[in-house]
Amino acid sequence: MRPKKAEPVKPIIGWREWIALPELGIEQIKVKVDTGARSSSLHAYDLSYFERRGTRFVRFKVHPLQRKTTEIVTTEAEVVDVRSVRSSSGKANMRPVIMTNMTLLGQTWSIELTLANRDEMGFRMLLGREAFRGRFLVDAGKSYYDGREKRPKRIKKR
């Protein structure tokens, strides 16, 4: 019996990471890595659809910083699909789907993103398993494998 070939070691990411979406003009956004979600979702609001040379596009705004609405990125992307997505609360709704490049731990590749208003959610972006399948292993007990430190906790004044 021949020995099995050793699989290449995959880099590890944590349950939350900082990524970039360079084609959308988003230099950094904190994502929740969710192996239980198939698709990825980006916080987007003020969506408006238009056509350019016969192709459907969507223009939208993003608050890339968690719990802050002061920074606004206005961007646009081609709509590759509109599909029904079931949220964590179990409610299904129709969402536009775009393709864009994502950078994580020095690697850049194309991912599919649904656009949804995530103002009420803890993270501005959810990174579903299809976006990192075959590229990374997930350490559910650690965060920020890119080495970027999380902000120090605020001390509550009494």
Taking the domains of the chain in order of start, what are their residue ranges?
13-135
Q: What is the pLDDT of residues 29-77, one digit of tens each?
A: 999 999 988 999 999 999 999 999 999 999 999 999 888 888 999 999 9
**Which amino acid would we find at residue 119?**
D
pTM: 0.84
Higher pLDDT, 112 or 4: 112
The span from the CA of 20 to the CA of 118, in Å, is 18
Residue 156: the pLDDT is 55
Give the CATH architecture of domain 13-135.
Beta Barrel (2.40)
**CA nearest 58: which of 119, 114, 123, 121?**
114
